[in-house]
Structure 1
């Protein structure tokens, strides 16, 4: 299932800010049930988007290495 186009275009910071707003509204208990369900669904999509952005960033700054003893490790990528 793909995320809505508007979420796909968001930066990590934008998605996180909206997710925080949704959480606050849901925690307040003031939204009608149907609205709460819709907010929960959008929040789930925002959470997945944030996780994907974080994972992509992590992969950009790590590289997998093989040590002399044959074990595998991760170290920061070298830039420049």
Structure 2
């Protein structure tokens, strides 16, 4: 699978996971990475940074927000644990 295909699958996974939850719920980038990874081991970890970048693209498109400690943060400054939620 190409990087572009993986990027699109991660974006779709983020949106799909959020669609299945309450409107104010959040997800972790690892949820999207696990949803896209096709294996039973810890290989999903290699998709963590691509998942964070996918969330950043969705922020730029106005579809989601990245939060840290419950507050929206700029994707470029989102270091450490983050959550993703639908944009308000």
Structure-2-length-normalised TM-score: 0.34
Q: Which has the larger radius of gyration?
A: 1
Structure 1 or 2: larger helix share?
1
